A = this chain, B = another copy of it.
Amino acid sequence: MEGEGGKAARRLRMVSAHLAAAAGGGEPAAVAAALCAARPPYELPAEALALYIRDKHWKLQAEVIEFFESRPDLRTPVEISTSEHRDLCMKQLQALVREANIRPFRYLLEDPEKYFAVTTAIGSVDASLGIKMGVQYSLWGGSVMNLGTQRHKDEFFDGIDNLDFPGCFAMTELHHGSNVQALQTTATFDAATDEFIMHTPNDGAIKWWIGNAAVHGKFATVFARLVLPGGGGDKGIHAFIVPLRDLSTHAPLPGVEIRDCGHKLGLNGVDNGAIKFSHVRIPRRHLLNRFADVSPSGEYTSPLPSPSKRFAAVLGELVGGRVGLAHSSAAILKLGAAIAVRYSLLRRQFGPAAQAEVAILDYPSQQGRLMPMLAAAYAFHFATGFLVERYAGMRRKEGGEEVVGEVHALSAGLKAYVTAYTAKALSVCREACGGHGYAAVNRLGALRSDHDIFQTFEGDNTVLLQQVAADLLKRYNEKFKGTTLSVTYTYLRESMVGYFSQPNPITSRWEREDHLRDPKFQLDAFRYRTSRLLQTAAMRLHKHTKTLGNFGGWNRCLNHLLTLAESHIETVILEKFIDAVDRCPDAGTRTVLKLVCDLYALDRIWSDIGSFRNVDYLAPNKAKAIHKLRDQLCAEVREVAGELVNAFDLAAHTTRAPIAMQAEAYSTYTRQVGFNISDSTTTPI
């Protein structure tokens, strides 16, 4: 680790050097100012910003990236078949663990912040590798460690850690993804042999989309209904370790039929398979028995009082996956935004008559696409960083039940919100880079296709947002019983009072820039919206549930509830960004972060201006002023856009896209397709 620290420090010096060299990025003042009404550029102490936003475990990340940079044999080619990609991805993971001696499984259990730091770093190498690692350690390994007991740790820890036991997380079935309680696979206890009999009762119950199953998996954690024969009956969903393939021959074991789910839109380095069980017998000890157990005589016991508590405990242990996805999604957004912004500084097209063409980032249309996205990347950086911290605290048992509840709701909400935003943003990046964005070598396609499923797996976003809404309603109801609300929800308490009065007709007309850029105005607006949505949702639910029942009433209000959840998450993100601005020790950096934060806030308000106008929270003159200031801030952020993406500390071998090289981008590109070109012959026009 000492040697690695030295490497990392060298790397940081390189970053600082190119930050200084790249300042500006395009032609400054004259034309740009005319196009976009920018004020004199901000002074950005680039090094201070890079230091402020770097990961706590940046040395470890640098180590991972250096390792892959040193191993061209492990680099994923631009075009690769599914079958080769799966092999390569396994080789990458094995090399990481066995050669670079990075031990994700240990980090996961001992220091989750280190685990997520590794996830983020390898995500830029190949998103498939990040997911392959997640399947092995967070899903398969995590389920064994968190749902099992000491006997499972003794038997499986080493094999999982060193990759001798590649494994799967077999929850989803062909007919059921989101509705886990309706899974149909059965595990029937047979006291005569002290075994469970794992069985797929119909084809809708075939385990489907199981990562690591098609090629590499030796074992799976299988989620199935625990059935006790005789009077015992169906005890609901439990987790079991099921061996899939012979440890030496790798052939599927008797009764285990495995098929290949085949080619996917993306993440083809991960081998998803379908598994059908025909009366497969496993020993009783393979029940992951932390939350429930079965005795040799078939007696069922549990430390938890009800089936719903047990189900919640089983699913609750899986929250780490969502934390990781939110965090990784933010990292992918940074990568996409960096490519699009750097290209937009390089690319020149059209210009005033008889003058040089201008950089496309000088067009307000391009700024309007990319600058709010860059602001969102910063916002998500701080929000998901906060989530990772809270999650690590929760794993260390700090803060008790209140933190557990907060982390559950926040991980669901941030996972849904950040992945949905990033998915759309990656499309915008591709479009912003025009035809060159369509070349696979420039990566935006693979980033989008790989990331796309982040919106669906580990909890479909639509389902997760409902969990957030349910949590808010629970807290709303508690409020009226006088229970203390946790820190994240303080604003609800504060602004709920304000909600019962109408919007203030005087402040609703204030339109001065210092007011619009006042964090208090911004937060009040977000909080008012959430409080109002929450209040009206509660009333509507009360009304409809009476006539339609719980299920019908909830669904009648569904779109309202989803909007509520998004509004809440957006508020939390803004809060964390404002906190991060306040905490920034360097004054110059703080000024620029404040600019970016203001753009984030005003862009979000403008994108939902109808909601604010419909309740007259903002008067027409103020709405117009927000629109104008939002465009103005886009122009100002453009002046420091190059520095803002440089501060992400993404070296050329991390971004890789030729169009995003910071120097000689076009000649990198022409060489890449095979022209034999000296740099000096490329005239940058």
Chain A interface residues (CB < 8 Å from chain B): 31, 34-37, 78-79, 81-82, 172, 174-179, 182, 184, 202-204, 206, 208-209, 257, 259-266, 274, 276, 348-353, 357, 362-365, 368, 423-424, 427, 430-431, 434-435, 437-441, 444-446, 449, 452-453, 455-457, 460-462, 548-552, 555-556, 558-559, 562, 608-610, 613-616, 620, 623-624, 631, 666-667, 669-670, 672-675, 677, 681-685
How far, in angstroms, from A365 to B603 measured CA to CA in the complex?
25
Partner of A552, one of B34, B357, B552, B616: B34
Judge whether B364 and A559 touch: CB under 8 Å: yes
Judge whether A431 and B449 touch: CB under 8 Å: no
Judge whether B262 and A439 touch: CB under 8 Å: yes
Judge whether A265 and B555 touch: CB under 8 Å: no
A561 to chain B, nearest CB (A): 9
A61 to chain B, nearest CB (A): 28
Name the residue on B nearest A554 (C-beta): B35
13 contacts between A and B (CB under 8 A): A35-B552, A177-B349, A179-B357, A202-B682, A202-B685, A206-B670, A206-B675, A260-B674, A274-B675, A276-B675, A609-B614, A614-B620, A614-B623
> Which residues of chain B are near A550, meaning CB under 8 Å?
352-353
How far, in angstroms, from A620 to B262 measured CA to CA in the complex?
51
> Which residues of chain B are near A37, meaning CB under 8 Å?
556
How far, in angstroms, from A664 to B349 measured CA to CA in the complex?
53
Judge whether A558 and B682 touch: CB under 8 Å: no
How far, in angstroms, from A263 to B440 measured CA to CA in the complex?
5
A170 to chain B, nearest CB (A): 14
CB contact under 8 A between A364 and B558, given known A263-B78, A274-B673, A673-B262:
yes
Judge whether B610 and A204 touch: CB under 8 Å: no
> Which residues of chain B are near A36, meaning CB under 8 Å?
555-556
Name the residue on B nearest A352 (C-beta): B551
Judge whether A349 and B440 touch: CB under 8 Å: no
How far, in angstroms, from A610 to B617 measured CA to CA in the complex?
13
A496 to chain B, nearest CB (A): 22
The 7 closest A-B pairs by CB, nearest first: A265-B445, A609-B610, A263-B440, A610-B610, A613-B613, A34-B552, A79-B263
* 5 more CB-based (< 8 A) A-B contacts, given A34-B555, A265-B449, A434-B456: A182-B350, A259-B674, A435-B456, A445-B452, A616-B620
Judge whether B434 and A177 touch: CB under 8 Å: yes
> Which residues of chain B are near A555, meaning CB under 8 Å?
34-36, 362-364
Judge whether A264 and B203 touch: CB under 8 Å: no
A360 to chain B, nearest CB (A): 9
Partner of A259, one of B615, B666, B675: B675
How far, in angstroms, from A491 to B672 measured CA to CA in the complex?
52
Most buried by B among A265, A437, A445, A684: A265
